[in-house]
């Protein structure tokens, strides 16, 4: 290091100013702190303004009737609200100027989004999506949408009958081309029921993150399967629906999802705050869907909770859709493609694949049934990433659609789908990857058997639901009315936590947009090498770790409590007679 001359040396007064009692601080450090303070203030204002925009977007979306959040033009083909047994479903035809909508070269694709608390659109709310990939591959695309409010008294059987009529309508428009069914999350079991009921009418069915084995899961990793054991069963959903004038608010389901992994919710806002300049638009785009909560009828939610979430009736062939119809997955003859992820804590591979050895105990049974089941797994993507990730759309979903002719040509059996990147010099295909199918044995799908305690929960739920229905439900329904139901809707924490940042609810925020605009116009983001910014991110990471640790301890405690409450073996568990 070169020696400094006297003229280059800083004096104490230069460093401390006129106040000799102030601690010394280098000019660089002072500049860094001042720059960080300014950036922190700007990011804070922009952060709160983004939350304001989210609230305004959600309110405006509701005023418009909560239309499907599709990034594509569409036209209505069939409106099930006009049926003799009306339901709040509608069949849409996706339009795209870059695709010949009259083309019959490839079979049509019908995308079904879940009614699991949110509205429709997750399968096509951006170009790199299931809808977008299907259009790019040259398929005519249809989308099953639904409205925020169920028709009065609509049942699960009514919905399934309407979906069958949708499939028939698509088949009529494309004769000789059985439609490909694409079921996302909870829509997956609807697709399997359609496949069983529409044998010969539909083509391959793709089940994305779809639970069919509701009792399966890993202890300490998938705590949602234990929920019924702590709320007493289906009666609580019945109570909530009675209080809401015969409707079940989907915001409760969304709240359950968020509580599964609270650190992910914290990280979502940390990511927005830390990278406000590039994350704001993406945050608002996703939250417009995530923050829109739709309702189910009381009849629907009870059928779903009793038969699926608690009863686990589907995989055992005991799901009674109506008086004369029981779902039987062995009736499915069209190929099934199951896409699951080990990073999915809502529908882990246990729930997506665990039904196969139940329905087909051996590979021979599967082959004898003439069925072809193909599965593929992702090692890390989360539940929503299966539907919304652009990388997943361009890889897994594109590979699935491109490989459907090969899948239909497979011999009956179980296969694992493998996707491998191609070498840049490989010009034999326009796809950047190669797909192969490796034969597997059903006996190799070794997921832990569900704890017998779940059967005891189902029995307990049936008992408490009978008591509530007979003695308490009439009183609750008599005291409920539309005014109280609407008040409960707006006061739900999932809505209030979002709407409170709108100027419609908080008038003192009216000046925030102007202030945020002034900041954006003169915004210079802070460099990542600022030491105070690094300290901020270290602090955020520490909080994330603390929340994650608390969540892990909570899940472990729930598992222990579950065993204490329901883990006592019974004669039915041991196989002995009473």
Q: For the chain (length 578 residues), average pLDDT per consecutive 10?
A: 39 39 45 92 96 95 92 95 96 79 76 92 89 92 96 93 94 92 92 83 92 80 72 88 94 91 94 95 93 94 89 84 80 93 88 92 94 93 88 91 92 94 64 89 85 84 93 94 93 94 90 94 90 94 96 88 73 38
- The verdict on domain 74-213+325-448 having CATH code 3.40.50.10860 is no
Residue 45 tokens, joined:
């204002």
Q: Which residues contact residue 469 at a Cβ distance below 8 angstroms, ignoring those fewer than 6 apart? A: 235, 238
Tokens for 27? 């000019």
User: What is the distance between the alpha carbons of residues 506 and 185, in angstroms, rounded to a whole number?
Assistant: 36
Q: Quickly tell me which residue has 């308490």 as its tokens.
A: 472
Residue given tokens 């008599």 in the structure block: 478
Q: How far apart are CA 139 and CA 286, in angstroms?
A: 26
Amino acid 58: pLDDT: 95
Residue 31 has a pLDDT of 87
Rounded Cα distance between 538 and 543, Å, is 9
pTM: 0.87
- What sign does the dihedral 255-258-263-268 (CA atoms) show? negative
Provide the β-strand partners of residue 414.
373, 440
Question: What pLDDT is recorded for position 389?
Answer: 87
3-state secondary structure of 389: coil
Q: What does 413-445 look like in DSSP terms, one character per residue?
A: EEEEEEEEEPPTT--S-SSSEEEEEEEE-GGG-
Residue ranges per structural domain of the chain: 74-213+325-448
Contacts of 347 (CB under 8 A, 6+ apart): 185, 209, 210, 211, 340, 383
What are the C-alpha distances in Å from 226 to residues 186, 207, 457, 509, 558?
A: 18, 24, 9, 42, 8
Q: CA nearest 61: which of 284, 388, 387, 384?
A: 284
Nearest to 69 by CA among 56, 83, 55, 58: 58
The answer to whether the CB of 83 falls within 8 A of the CB of 162 is yes
- 141 touches 127 (CB < 8 A): no
The DSSP string of 470-531 is IIIHHHHHHH--HHHHHHHHHH-HHHHHHHTTSTTT-GGGTTHHHHHHHHHHT--PPPTT-H
């Amino acid at each position: 290091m070169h020696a400094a001359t006297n003229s280059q040396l800083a004096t104490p007064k230069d460093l401390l100013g006129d106040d000799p009692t102030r601690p010394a601080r280098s000019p660089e450090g002072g500049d860094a702190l001042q720059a960080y303070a300014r950036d922190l203030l700007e990011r804070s204002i922009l952060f709160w303004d983004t939350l304001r925009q989210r609230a305004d977007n959600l309110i405006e979306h509701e005023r418009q009737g909560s239309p499907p959040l599709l990034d594509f033009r569409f036209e209505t083909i069939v409106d099930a609200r006009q049926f003799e047994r009306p339901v709040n479903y509608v069949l849409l035809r996706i339009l795209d100027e870059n695709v010949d909508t009259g083309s019959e070269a490839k079979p049509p694709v019908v995308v079904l989004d879940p009614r699991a608390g949110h509205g429709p659109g997750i399968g096509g709310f951006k170009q790199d999506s299931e809808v977008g990939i299907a259009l790019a591959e040259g398929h005519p695309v249809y989308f099953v949408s639904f409205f925020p409010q169920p028709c009065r008294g609509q049942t699960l059987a009514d919905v399934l009958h309407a979906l069958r009529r949708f499939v028939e309508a698509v088949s009529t428009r494309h004769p000789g081309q059985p439609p490909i069914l694409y079921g996302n999350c909870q829509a997956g079991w609807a697709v399997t029921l359609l496949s069983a009921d529409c044998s010969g009418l539909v083509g391959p069915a793709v089940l994305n993150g779809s639970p069919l084995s509701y009792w399966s899961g890993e202890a300490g990793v998938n705590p949602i399967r234990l929920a019924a054991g702590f709320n007493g069963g289906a009666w609580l959903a019945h109570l909530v629906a009675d209080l809401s004038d015969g409707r079940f608010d989907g915001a409760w389901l969304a709240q359950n999802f968020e509580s599964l992994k609270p650190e992910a919710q914290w990280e979502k806002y940390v990511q927005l705050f830390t990278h406000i300049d590039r994350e704001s638009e993406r945050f608002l785009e996703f939250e417009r869907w995530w923050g829109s909560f739709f309702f189910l009828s009381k009849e629907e939610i009870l059928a779903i909770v009793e038969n699926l979430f608690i009863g686990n009736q589907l995989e055992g062939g005991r799901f009674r859709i109506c008086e004369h119809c029981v779902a039987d997955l062995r009736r499915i003859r069209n190929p099934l493609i199951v896409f699951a992820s080990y990073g999915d804590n809502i529908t882990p591979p246990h729930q997506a694949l665990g039904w196969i050895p139940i329905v087909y105990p051996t590979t021979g049974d599967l082959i004898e049934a003439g069925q072809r089941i193909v599965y593929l797994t992702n090692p890390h993507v989360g539940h929503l990433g299966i539907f919304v990730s652009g990388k997943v759309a361009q890889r897994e979903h594109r590979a699935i659609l491109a490989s459907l002719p090969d899948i239909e040509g497979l011999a009956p059996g179980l296969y694992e789908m493998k996707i491998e990147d191609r070498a840049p010099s490989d010009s034999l295909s326009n796809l950047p990857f190669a797909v192969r199918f490796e034969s597997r044995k059903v006996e190799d799908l070794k997921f832990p058997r569900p704890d017998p305690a779940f059967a005891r929960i189902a029995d307990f739920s049936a008992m408490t639901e009978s008591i509530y229905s007979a003695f308490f439900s009439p009183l609750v329904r008599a005291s409920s009315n539309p005014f109280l139901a609407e008040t409960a809707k707006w006061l739900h924490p999932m809505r209030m936590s979002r709407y409170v940042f709108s100027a419609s609810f908080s008038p003192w925020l009216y000046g925030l947009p102007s202030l945020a605009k002034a900041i954006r116009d003169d915004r210079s983001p802070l460099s990542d090498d600022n030491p105070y910014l690094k300290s901020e991110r270290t602090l955020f990471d520490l909080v994330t770790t603390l929340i994650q640790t608390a969540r892990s301890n909570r899940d472990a405690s729930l598992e222990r409590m579950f065993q204490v409450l329901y883990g006592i073996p019974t004669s039915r568990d041991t196989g002995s007679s009473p």
